Structure 1
Amino acid sequence: MGKFWKEASLETALMRDERSVQIVSAPHFGLPAWTAAPATFGMNFTNGEKVIGEIVLVDPFKACNSSQLFNGNELRGKIAVILRGDCMFEDKALLVQRERAVGLIIIDNQQGSSFEHMPYFAMSGSAANLDSDGQKKNNMKVEIPVVFLFYFEGQQFLDLIFDDPKMIVSIGENKFNPVYCFEQFLRQNFIFRREQFAISNQFLSINAERTILYINFYFDGVNESSLVEEKQAVVERNIEWIDSTIQFPDIKISTKFSSTFKSTCIFVT
C-alpha cells in the first residue's frame, strides 16, 4: 500500500520547482534517485511530504481510456507508471486515480529529453475539463501526486523496473537520505520492504526501445492436460493482446513475431 511520509528534517527548497523519484526498497536503498518535473494539478507537496508505494506499469503503457485498461485492478494503493502521449496529462492522472492509485509517474516519449538539458517544464491541466466559468466539469479533480520524468531519466528508471518490477518508490519534493532508507530496512519498516512473491497473470508491455522484453501471459486455467483446442484458443487471445498493445515498426515484423510466438507456445503447451 502507498503511504504518505513526512521527513523530520527538510531540505532547502530550490528556486526551480522540482520533484523527485527515488527507489527506496532493497537493494537500492535510495539510490538511484532522479529529479522530476512537477504538475500544476494534483497533490502539492509541502513540508517534506512524500508518497511511497509499489510501482505498477499501466497496461497499455499510453493508457487514456478506462475501458481499454487491462490491469486497472492492480493499481489500488500503488504508484502507477505511464507513458506520455495520446491524451492530456490530467486525463491520465484521472484514469489511474479512478482505479485508486496513490500516485503517478509519467515518462516522456520524446527521445533525447533530459531534466538537465530541458527548460523549465510543468505539466498543466486540460482545458477540456473546465466549464465556461473555469470550474471543473462533473467535479473531476486530480487529488493524487503526479510527477514527470524526461526520456533519459525515464529509460534508466524502466531499465531497473525490468530487473525489479515490484520495487518500492518514493515521489515527493525532496529525497530521502540513502542511509535512512537502509536503517529503516534493517528496522523491518514494511514501507521500505517490497512484497516477496512472484508476478503472475500480469500482462506486461513497454512501448519503448528495450534490449529485452518480458511478457507474462494469461492462460485462464489452461494447462498441459487441457484440450488442444483450449490451448490454441488461449494462445490466439494472447496474440490479440500483443497486437493491440505493442507497436511494431512494420507489418512484416508484426507477422513474424506473431508466427514465432504462436509456434513456440504451441510447442511448449
Structure 2
Amino acid sequence: MKENLQTNLRLFFGIGFLISIILIGLFAPWISPHDPLAINLSSRLSPPSWNYPFGTDHLGRCILTRIIYGIRITVSASFFIMIFTGVISLPIGLLTGYVRGRTDHIFMRMIDGTLAFPDIVLIIAIVGLLGPGFFNMVVAIIMVRWADYVRLIRSLVIKITKEDYIVSARMSGNSHIQIMKRYILPQILSPILVFGALDMGRIVLLIAGLSFLGLGTQPPIPEWGVMLHDATSYFQIAPHVMIFPGLAIMFFVLSCQLLSDRYRKLEESI
C-alpha cells in the first residue's frame, strides 16, 4: 500500500512538472521578460538580478528568456520525435508480435543491429552523414529510437495474444485485423504512452547533447544544448550561464524519470 502511494505520488509530480513546463513554453511570449535574441553588450555576463533573474550570457541576452523559449524548441522537438517514432513503430510492433514467423525474424535482426550500438554513437554517425542541423538531428534520432519502441510493442503484443479472450476472438471468426484493432491495440496504448513520456527525457538529453557538440540546433536559436555550448568559454568567470540551462534540462529529465516506476513495473510483468 505504501509503495503504491509513493508510485502514485511520483507519477502525479512527474505529470505536474511536465504540464507546467509545457504551459510555460506555450505562453513564452507573454511571460518572458525580454526578447530571446536581443543583444545588449553593455550587460554581458551580468549576474542574476531583478531585471535579469537568471543573468545574461556573453552577448547580454536574458538567460531566463532563452530558457523559456528553449522549451518550445527542445520539448516540442522531443514530443514530435516521440509521436513520429511511435507512429512508425506501432504497426511494425503489432505485425511482428502477432504474426511472428519470418517477418518477426527479419525485423528483430534489424532491431538487434540497431541496439548493438549506443544511441548517441549511432546518431552522431547518421548526423555526420546527413550534415549538422535541426532537421537532420530529428531524422537521426527517429532512425535510432524506433527499435526500442518496436521491441516494447512486440513484447506487449506477444503477451496479450496468449490471453484466453484472444483465442475466443479467433474462434468467433474475427479477422486478424479486427483482433489487432479491437482487442490488442486498446490494451497496449497506455503502456506505450507511459514509455513515450519517459523516453522524452532521454530524447531531450540527445537533442541537448547533439546541439552542444554543434551537430543539432545552430546558434542563435535559443535551445538548451546551444546555450550550454555557448557557455563553456565563460563558465569560470560567470558560472550562471551554464548552471541555469543545465538545471532546465535536469528538471525536465527528472519529471520524465518520475514516470519510470510504472514503466519498470510494466517491464517486470512482460
TM class by shorter chain equals under 0.3
TM-score normalized by the length of structure 1: 0.21
Q: Which is richer in helix?
A: 2
Which of the two has greater strand per residue?
1
Larger radius of gyration: 2
